A and B are shown apart, each in its own frame.
Chain A
Amino acid sequence: MKSRIILVLIFACLSIGMQAQKYITKTGTIEIFSETPMFTIEGINRKVASVINVETGDVVASTLVRSFKFKEALVEEHFNENYIESDKFPKSIFKGKIMNIDKIDFSKDGSYEITFEGKLTIHGTTNYIKEKGNLTIKEGVITVIVDFSVSLKAYKIKVEKSYEDAIKDDILLKIHFDYKPYNKKK
């Protein structure tokens, strides 16, 4: 019995000791989109950073919410000042895991449907999410594309009564990350 435990511990140590293969992007994009008959809101953030550990499936992403750009400067100002409150809550963060990572063969090109889950923090509020997306491997680049919606209420982002017709509660996020192999900075 003891030897089994020791064996397990050794494996555990080994797996920690091994340099797990990681992929990184600093220029991932998130588009946000809301359309009502009254008003269309479209914004894009091209400065999303994310790291993925292809052995464990762990994935994290982080961005400054002020990096979202809108065509109308006034919409951008309202987004930052009145809704997302980027001064108070500068970052949005995701910490989670790709659940079916062991089904993916990273050694050759291919395309997979993925399921991921984890904690998404927006506007200082954290919610557990579970969503589906697509992962493609091509010439050493991992591309992850995910579309899902978030509810403003769930993240305590207040929309005034008079604007409820103009701004949807469900905001569509379109996420596109191109990961490249990560080499630790010297």
Chain B
Amino acid sequence: MKNLYLIIALVFFSLQSYSQDDLMDILDDEVEEEIEYIIATFKSTRIINGHSIERMKKGQLDFRINHRFGQLNSGGYELWGLDNALINLSFEYGINDRIMIGFRRGTNNKVYDGSVKFSLLRQSKGKRVMPVSVSYFSDMSFKTQRGYLDLPNISDAGFDINQHRLAFTHQLLIARKFNDKLSLQLSPSFVHRNIVAPGENNDIYALGIGGRYKFIRRVAFTFEYFYTNNVTADNIYHYPLAIGFDIETGGHVFQLFVTNSRAMVEDGFLGETTGNWLDGGLYFGFNMSRVFALAGSE
């Protein structure tokens, strides 16, 4: 008889925990499945030189200090290039979670440029499955260097002449985060330069491939390569190739790499990369990004 009571007690007990599972079933029924957007395809808005699909979120300001040092094989006297740094300062701001605007000043050719990047598709799973993220990036640069391609000084000329200093870049950035370690991106690109050196094309078509492999927490290996129609046997140009590491700390992302491009503006590294990887024509590069939250994101 005692056993029977025990069984009944057990039945009650199991019913009790069963009823919590019942409640859980109610929740699963009631709560609608959400679209889960994939986050952190890349750690930064740049893969290395080129832009990644990532944008600043709403109200977030990214202050970047990007360096390209001198040629690595320039010898001990130049401290292997460290004496000779080009610097880019930039501010990039997220107007909302999809649109980012940027403004930048670079040492090379004393260039100013403005850019806009917006998200067309976001990789997602759950309620809606989207295999890739796609962003569109557009940049307009203005080279203020005196004597740039023998143009008169800006103050001595009108807009009809000074507009020659403009260059335009359009990129479609298509990326997929395959897992928490591996992300890859394809970047079909178009550059138009209003003026070029004799014998060069005003228009450049390029296809970039880049990616990251995050092999431990907070550190990723990165690479980036662009194939362009701008490299021929009888000019001085090379295909841009860069290899490096992303290192993230609390509020900073550091990118350390070697590249054969010295220019940091898009029309510069896509159109005017002169370093030769096979001949020590490499530059040590260093991007530092600090993000400030000016307004809350939602």
Contact = CB atoms under 8 A, between A and B. Distances in A.
Given A62-B24, A73-B57, A56 B19 contact: yes
A128 interface: no
A81 B177 CA distance: 13
A125 interface: no
Q: Which of B26, B28, B56, B180 has the most CB atoms of chain A within a 10 A radius of its CB?
A: B26
B67 to A, nearest CB: 22
Interface string A56-92: 1011111010100111111011101110000100000
B31 A49 contact: yes
B19 A163 contact: no
B15 A16 contact: yes
B278 interface: no
B33 to A, nearest CB: 10
A59 B293 CA distance: 38
Interface in B14-37: 15-16, 19-21, 23-24, 26-31, 34, 36
A71 B296 contact: yes
Interface residues of B, number: 35
Q: Which of B12, B23, B27, B218 has the most CB atoms of chain A within a 10 A radius of its CB?
A: B23
B27 A62 contact: yes
B8 A5 contact: yes
B293 A72 contact: yes
Interface string A4-21: 010011001000100010
A126 B12 CA distance: 24
Contact of B19 (A9, A53, A160): A53
Given A71-B297, A80-B39, A87-B180, A26 B23 contact: no
B161 to A, nearest CB: 43
A5 B11 CA distance: 13
A9 B8 contact: yes
B62 to A, nearest CB: 10
Interface string B55-71: 01100100000000000
B233 interface: no
Given A12-B11, A24-B30, A73-B293, A81 B23 contact: no
A81 B40 contact: yes
A74 B28 CA distance: 30
Nearest to A184: B26
A166 interface: yes
Interface residues of A, number: 47
A31 to B, nearest CB: 14
Contacts of A80: 39-40
Nearest to A87: B180
A29 interface: no
Contacts of B30: 24, 26, 49, 185
A69 B251 contact: no
B250 to A, nearest CB: 7
Given A26-B31, A56-B19, A163-B250, A72 B36 contact: no
A39 B24 contact: no
A49 B19 contact: no
Given A5-B4, A81-B40, A53 B23 contact: yes
24 contacts: A12-B15, A22-B23, A24-B27, A49-B27, A49-B30, A49-B31, A51-B27, A58-B19, A58-B20, A60-B24, A62-B27, A62-B28, A69-B297, A70-B297, A72-B60, A72-B291, A73-B56, A73-B60, A74-B250, A76-B297, A77-B40, A97-B20, A163-B250, A185-B30
State the 6 A-B residue pairs at the shortest beta-carbon distance, nearest first. A73-B57, A60-B23, A51-B23, A72-B293, A71-B296, A95-B20
Interface of B: 1, 4, 8, 11-12, 15-16, 19-21, 23-24, 26-31, 34, 36, 39-40, 56-57, 60, 180, 217-218, 250-251, 291, 293, 296-298
Given A58-B23, A76-B297, 8 more contacts: A12-B12, A26-B30, A60-B23, A62-B24, A62-B27, A73-B293, A77-B39, A182-B26
